[in-house]
């Protein structure tokens, strides 16, 4: 069963252009794109087919943009470029896999996806600008959409052919019944396990197919700009080879832990390789073999999981040792009080009347502000994050602010307050332009948001109370609450603790106390900690002191895991 544990290490990129992805393609690193667009030169040939430099640069820019959201200045463009180049190659090889599998995508599917993307922009002019910014025209965008949908369909077909047998599903449950599925009956999780195994088997098969394509591919006519990014062996250790693509991925993952320090991330990546090789060598010494069809990096994970399985199967538990372990950990096995409950969270949104009130407040404030008192008024009145700084937004250029705000700011004279309240999705703005030139504006603003009034909140609370009464009387099913306009979420939550933790909702002390105190199967409505809920307690577990015989399966499972980890630590040291 070890191969399925590789899932998190094998998940491929699915190259489908979605609305969100397209809208995020804003002008980041566009200079290199424009250069590629003007020269129209191929980046390389793959199996005789040209791959444009625009595709490579676009992938680099979008990956840099994406990772910058998390790493800020810690993003290393050369590192990302290696990964992006590899991503483009893998995308094209996956298309070759699709061709061999005779996967087809209809023109109507491509057009439907294209129309969704086009409709997501404000107007056709904006759509055209966004196409140009990313080096697209209508035809090439449709080509990319077709490729993405083809790859998605290919992955689905590979997965469809990887359905596990009932024996495999049952065996996986038996292996994990005291771990991931502790406290759950087989029938409760059977479908979930089948889906997970099928997903994993599909991923493994895809990785093998991709590795075979890589071994047989011919990459020629490589533009010198991208020579450093071509996949090649960067590190060899005890017979295992790691490419620059492998190492770039490891360094990038380590950058998060290293808080953007590349030197520290590189050291962490190398250490992880050394540790994995040690474990792999120990596995080989015990007669374990990796799947030769897997990439070298994935073979390490395969060997580790097979080693873990072998250690677990061969370990003989000593009863006295197990009893000592149980006594040391006894408190961890006590059954603590928990409840399960159905919970519906009602949202309180500003009504049109609330929005009108916010606009009226903004218009009244506009009559009071002047260039001289604007900063002080912003500190006192603004409900936005810049309020404490006097509403200071600094300098900004075109395309950096939402359209209504940008238009108002650039059409206001320097040294004056804009003569009208500006409405955006954030609320109502008063704008003071301090300085400006042809390309940029330096401004302050006061933001008044559309908050739900007390009357609006009371109306939602009344709605929740009415819904609770109807469910309690049997007139309405709890599950039907999810259809309500003001219901954000409605579902069952298991294992709610006395300490206030509700899995899936977080710490909600007061709500948890109310659920514990409520009668079984009675439906309540309550406003607590600023939120409105309808809830029903459906199961209660009382405290029970642990007993080894009753908990033997779970204790043995945990004991074995600890012993295996000790053995792994011994190997590493």
pTM of the model as a whole? 0.70
d(CA 281, CA 571): 10
Question: What are the tens digits of pLDDT across the range 101-132?
Answer: 999 999 999 999 999 888 877 677 778 877 87
Mean pLDDT, the chain, rounded, equals 90
Q: Which of 83-92, 128-137, 476-485, 520-529 has the lowest mean pLDDT?
A: 128-137
Domains of the chain, residue spans? 2-231, 271-330+551-572, 338-348+454-541, 352-448
Burial of 281 (0-12, 13-18, 19+ CB in 10 A): middle
Instruction: Assign 7 a pLDDT band (cuts: 50, 70, 90).
Output: very low
352-448 under CATH 3.10.50.40, yes or no: yes
Per-residue confidence (pLDDT) for residue 40, from 0 to 100? 63
Mean pLDDT of the 472-488 span: 93
**For the CA atoms of 388, 394, 399, 404, what is the dihedral angle to 10 degrees?**
50
Residue owning tokens 């993405």: 148
* Alpha helix segments (H runs only) across 420-547: 454-472, 509-517
Taking a C-beta distance cutoff of 8 angstroms, is the pair 247, 258 a contact? no
**pLDDT class for 507, splitting at 50, 70, 90?**
very high
How far apart are the C-alpha atoms of 87 and 61, rounded to whole Å? Answer: 13
Give 195-251 pLDDT, tens digit per residue. Answer: 999 999 999 999 999 999 999 999 999 999 999 999 999 999 998 999 999 999 999
Mean pLDDT of 147-168: 95
Question: Averaged over 391-397, what is the pLDDT?
Answer: 91
User: With contact defined as beta carbons under 8 Å apart, do 142 and 114 qualify?
Assistant: yes
Q: Given this model, what pLDDT does residue 405 score? A: 94
Question: Rounded to whole angstroms, what are the CA distances from 518 to 169, 341, 344, 521?
Answer: 39, 11, 16, 9
CB-side exposure of 81: number of CA atoms within 13 Å? Answer: 14
pLDDT at 137: 86
**pLDDT category of residue 3 using cuts at 50, 70 and 90:** very low
Whole-number percent of the chain with pLDDT over 70: 93
* Overall average pLDDT of the 503-523 stretch: 96
d(CA 462, CA 525): 9
**Cβ atoms of residues 504 and 458 within 8 Å:** no
The answer, yes or no, to whether residue 368 has pLDDT greater than 60, is yes
Tell me the C-alpha distance between 62 and 84, whole Å: 9
Quick check: helix, strand or coil at residue 13? coil
With a pLDDT cut of 90, the percent of the chain lying above it is 76
User: What pLDDT does residue 502 have?
Assistant: 96
Count of other CB atoms within 10 angstroms of residue 320:
8
The more confident residue out of 132 and 184 is: 184
Please name the CATH architecture into which domain 338-348+454-541 falls.
Answer: Roll (3.10)
Helices (H) and strands (E) in the chain, counts: 20, 16
Between the two ends of the chain, the Cα-to-Cα distance in Å is: 27
The Cα 304–Cα 212 span in angstroms is: 23
Closest listed residue to residue 429, CA positions, set 411, 405, 451: 405
Please identify, in words, the CATH class of the domain defined by 2-231. Answer: mainly alpha
Residue 72 pLDDT level (bands cut at 50, 70, 90): confident
Could you check whether 2-231 and 338-348+454-541 share the same CATH topology?
no
């Amino acid at each position: 069963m070890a191969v399925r544990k590789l899932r998190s290490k094998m998940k491929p990129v699915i190259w489908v252009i979605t609305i969100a992805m397209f809208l995020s393609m804003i002008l980041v690193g566009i200079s290199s794109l424009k250069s590629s667009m003007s020269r129209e030169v191929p980046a390389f040939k793959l199996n005789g087919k040209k791959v444009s430099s625009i595709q490579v640069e676009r992938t680099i820019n979008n990956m840099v943009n994406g990772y910058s959201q998390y790493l800020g200045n810690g993003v290393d463009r050369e590192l990302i470029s290696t990964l992006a180049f590899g991503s483009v190659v893998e995308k094209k090889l996956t298309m070759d896999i699709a061709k061999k599998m005779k996967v087809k995508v209809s023109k109507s599917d491509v057009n439907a996806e294209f129309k969704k993307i086009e409709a997501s922009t404000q107007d056709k002019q904006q759509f055209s600008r966004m196409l140009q910014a990313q080096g697209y025209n209508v035809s090439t965008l449709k080509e990319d959409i077709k490729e993405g949908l083809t790859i998605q369909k290919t992955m689905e077909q590979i997965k469809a052919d990887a359905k596990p047998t009932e024996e495999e599903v049952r065996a996986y449950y038996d292996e994990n019944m005291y771990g991931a599925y502790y406290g759950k009956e087989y029938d409760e999780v059977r479908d979930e396990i089948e889906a997970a195994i099928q997903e994993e088997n599909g991923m493994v098969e895809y990785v093998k197919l991709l590795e075979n394509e890589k071994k047989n591919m011919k990459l020629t006519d490589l533009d010198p700009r991208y020579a450093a990014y071509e996949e090649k062996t960067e590190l060899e250790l005890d017979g295992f080879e790691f490419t620059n693509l492998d190492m770039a991925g490891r360094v990038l993952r380590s950058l998060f832990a290293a808080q953007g320090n590349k030197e520290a991330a590189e050291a962490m990546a190398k250490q992880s390789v050394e540790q994995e090789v040690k474990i792999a060598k120990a596995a080989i010494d015990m007669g374990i073999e990796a799947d030769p069809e897997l990439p070298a990096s994935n073979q390490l994970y395969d060997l580790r999981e097979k080693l873990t399985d072998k250690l677990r199967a061969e370990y003989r538990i000593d009863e006295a040792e197990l009893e000592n372990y149980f006594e040391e950990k006894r408190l961890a096995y006590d059954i603590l009080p928990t409840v399960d409950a159905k919970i519906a969270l009602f949202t309180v949104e500003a009504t049109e009347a609330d929005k009108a009130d916010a606009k009226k407040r903004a218009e009244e404030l506009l009559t009071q502000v002047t260039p001289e008192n604007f900063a002080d008024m912003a500190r006192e009145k603004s409900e936005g994050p810049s309020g404490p700084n006097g509403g200071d937004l600094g300098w900004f250029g075109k395309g950096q602010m939402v359209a209504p705000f940008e238009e108002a700011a650039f059409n206001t004279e320097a040294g004056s307050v804009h003569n009208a309240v500006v409405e955006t999705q954030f609320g109502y703005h008063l704008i003071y332009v301090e300085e400006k030139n042809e390309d940029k504006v330096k401004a302050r603003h006061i933001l008044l948001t559309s908050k739900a009034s007390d009357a609006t909140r009371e109306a939602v609370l009344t709605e929740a109370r009415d819904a609770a009464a109807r469910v309690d009387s049997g007139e309405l099913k709890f599950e039907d609450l999810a259809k309500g306009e003001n219901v954000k979420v409605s579902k069952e939550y298991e294992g709610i603790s006395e300490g206030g933790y509700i899995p899936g909702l977080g710490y909600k002390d007061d709500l948890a106390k109310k659920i514990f105190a409520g009668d079984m199967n009675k439906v309540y409505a309550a406003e607590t900690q600023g939120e409105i809920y309808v809830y029903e307690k459906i199961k209660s577990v009382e405290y029970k002191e642990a007993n080894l015989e009753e908990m033997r399966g779970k204790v043995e499972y945990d004991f074995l895991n600890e012993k295996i980890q000790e053995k792994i630590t011994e190997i590493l040291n």
